[in-house]
């Protein structure tokens, strides 16, 4: 089996990490996997060694020049599957395949697989409907995402759930970071951590609202929100308005996130929407107890009352109560942390994710392309 993976993002987030884990994992089981990545992107930088790597990214969703260059690549390679991991990558792949990009050795186009990692509905415009009709199979990162695809008219046989996975052993090998020293925190202060892009759907403003309530009961508590994004100034203003400068830190993007996770007492995810939440998997692999919302696929990851505590989205009072409960109960934190690690080892390994992805490829490879027969009826 030979698959080509496309991710056009320039930044590094959970999705790009999943792409790299998938490509490397497929190679580990003896399959050939090539990668199309942004020429100036972090994924390309991290993947440069040991991979078939094609630096290419579209300037916009209808970049015909990039699609033409990709079509040349597809015609040159003897591919079974093209796997698009992001929306722009899917548009570029759909255009390239429409240009007659048959694999030379097979005389036909490879199957098109698309990852879906967000719990948003498919767009209803004509371009979106067209590109999604080209897809032979969607791989949904959670059952919550798959249900949305079905509502949007994707036939059940063209939507398969493959939960994302992590390299548990690699996580275990990472040295812990002393977050108290790294961020100049009081030595005995309990630390609540969050790792996510600073964007609206990650809901950090609700976490800061919760922090405002938590420090009333636990004055030594500290919150460390790792990540960058468009909401930085707004969140910093919110911290100042609540006079939480000593309690809530936004240190930005860090390369030692995994080590920092091991230094947190509690990991909090305040998302309003969330496809699955791979940072939750990382935190659980670090034996951290979780406080998170019930958004999207999060309940598929966190077992409420067993590996963490779940609260409704946007309910900062409930989130504050859950955080206080965990910070005040070291035994509960330890028990939930251990249960989280066990759950990740059982259900969310990269080996399981790669095997299930390869099974999807085996199912779609060799079949006639579905573009002419399938339709997204709810959107047409």
For 188-221, what is each residue's pLDDT tens digit?
999 999 999 999 999 999 999 999 999 999 999 9
Query: In a 10 Å sphere around its CB, with 0-12 CB exposed, 13-18 middle and 19+ buried, how is residue 52 labelled?
Result: middle
Handedness of CA 318, 322, 327, 328 (dihedral sign): positive
pLDDT value at position 105? 53
Q: Identify whether 377 is part of a domain.
A: no
H/E stretch holding 132: helix 126-133
Q: Does 378 reside within a domain?
A: no
Regions of the chain short of the pLDDT cut 70: 49-50, 101-107, 366-380
Does 6 reside within a domain?
A: yes
Task: Indicate whether 24 and 149 sit together in one domain.
Answer: yes
**Are 113 and 26 part of one and the same domain?**
yes
Residue 172: what are its φ and ψ, rounded to 5°?
-60, -30
CATH number for the domain spanning 278: value is: 3.40.50.2000
Describe the chain by its helix, strand, coil percentages, rounded to 5. 45, 15, 40
User: Is residue 258 included in any domain, yes or no?
Assistant: yes
Note whether 41 and 92 are same-domain residues.
Answer: yes
| One domain, residues 178 and 309 | yes
Tens digits of residue pLDDT in 97-155: 988 755 555 567 899 999 999 998 998 888 888 999 999 999 999 999 999 999 999 99
Same domain membership, residue 332 and residue 185: yes
Three-class DSSP category at 52: strand
The vertex-321 CA angle with 180 and 341, nearest 5°, equals: 60
DSSP 8-class letter at 368: P
Residue 380 lies in a domain: no
Q: What is the pLDDT of residue 249?
A: 98
Looking at the fold, whether 184 and 123 belong to one and the same domain comes out as no
Residue keyed to tokens 């990740």:
344
Grouping H, G, I as helix, E, B as strand and the rest as coil, residue 74 is: helix
Domain assignment present for 379: no
Within this chain, do residues 150 and 293 fall inside the same structural domain, yes or no? no
Distances (CA, A) of 318 to 64, 203, 220, 294: 49, 14, 20, 12
Query: Residue 287: which region, alpha, beta or left (left: phi > 0; alpha: psi -120 to 50)?
Result: left
Number of domain units in the chain: 2
Q: How far apart are CA 348 and CA 359, in angstroms?
A: 16
- Give the residue numbers spanning the domain of 278: 168-347
Confidence at residue 49, expressed as pLDDT on a 0 to 100 scale? 65
Give the rounded distance of the alpha carbon of 65 from its chain centre.
Answer: 29
Sheet holding 290-293, edge to edge: 248-252, 222-226, 191-195, 266-269, 290-293, 308-311
Q: Give the three-class secondary structure for 137.
A: strand
Q: Are residues 260 and 193 in the same domain?
A: yes
Residues 159 and 98 in one domain: yes
Q: Are residues 62 and 122 in the same domain?
A: yes
Question: Does residue 18 lie within any of the structural domains?
Answer: yes
- The Cα–Cα gap between 263 and 150 comes to 40
Q: What is the distance between the alpha carbons of residues 341 and 344, in angstroms, rounded to a whole number?
A: 5
> Do residues 91 and 146 both lie within one domain?
yes
Other CB atoms within a 10 A radius of the CB of residue 330 amount to: 11
Is 95 found in the same domain as 20? yes
Sign of the Cα torsion 271, 319, 290, 304 reads negative
pLDDT at 343: 98
Question: Which of 143, 136, 132, 144 lies closest to 113, judged by CA?
Answer: 136
């Amino acid at each position: 089996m030979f698959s080509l993976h496309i991710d056009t993002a320039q930044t590094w987030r959970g999705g790009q990490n999943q792409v790299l884990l998938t490509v490397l994992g497929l190679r580990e089981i003896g399959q050939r996997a090539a990668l199309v990545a942004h020429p100036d992107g972090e994924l390309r930088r991290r993947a440069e060694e040991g991979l078939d790597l094609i630096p290419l990214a579209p300037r916009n969703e209808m970049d015909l020049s990039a699609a033409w260059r990709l079509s040349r690549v597809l015609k040159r390679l003897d591919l079974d599957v093209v796997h698009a991991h992001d929306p722009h990558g899917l548009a570029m792949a759909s255009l390239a395949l429409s240009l007659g990009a048959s694999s030379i050795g097979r005389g036909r186009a490879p199957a098109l697989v698309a990852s879906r990692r967000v719990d948003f509905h498919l767009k209803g415009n004509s371009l979106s409907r067209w590109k999604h009709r080209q897809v032979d199979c969607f791989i949904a990162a959670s059952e919550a995402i798959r249900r949305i695809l079905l509502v949007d008219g994707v036939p059940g046989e063209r939507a398969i759930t493959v939960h994302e996975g992590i390299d548990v052993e690699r996580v275990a090998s990472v040295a812990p970071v002393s977050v108290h020293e790294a961020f100049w925190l009081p030595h005995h202060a309990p630390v609540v951590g969050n790792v996510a892009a600073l964007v609206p759907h990650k809901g950090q403003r609700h976490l800061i609202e919760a922090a405002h309530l938590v420090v009333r009961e636990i004055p030594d508590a500290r919150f460390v929100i790792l990540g960058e994004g468009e909401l930085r100034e707004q969140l910093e203003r919110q911290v100042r308005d609540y006079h939480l400068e000593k309690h809530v830190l936004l240190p930005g993007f860090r390369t030692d996130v995994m080590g920092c996770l091991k230094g947190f007492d509690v990991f909090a995810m305040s998302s309003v929407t969330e496809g699955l939440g791979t940072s939750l998997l990382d935190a659980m692999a670090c034996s951290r107890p979780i406080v998170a919302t019930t958004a999207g696929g999060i309940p598929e990851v966190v077992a409420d009352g067993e590996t963490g505590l779940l609260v409704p989205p946007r309910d900062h009072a409930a989130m504050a109560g859950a955080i206080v409960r965990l910070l005040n109960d070291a035994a509960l934190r330890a028990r939930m942390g251990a249960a989280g690690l066990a759950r990740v080892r059982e259900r969310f390994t990269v080996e399981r994710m790669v095997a299930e992805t390869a099974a999807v490829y085996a199912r779609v490879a060799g079949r006639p392309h579905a573009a002419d027969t399938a339709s997204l009826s709810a959107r047409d």
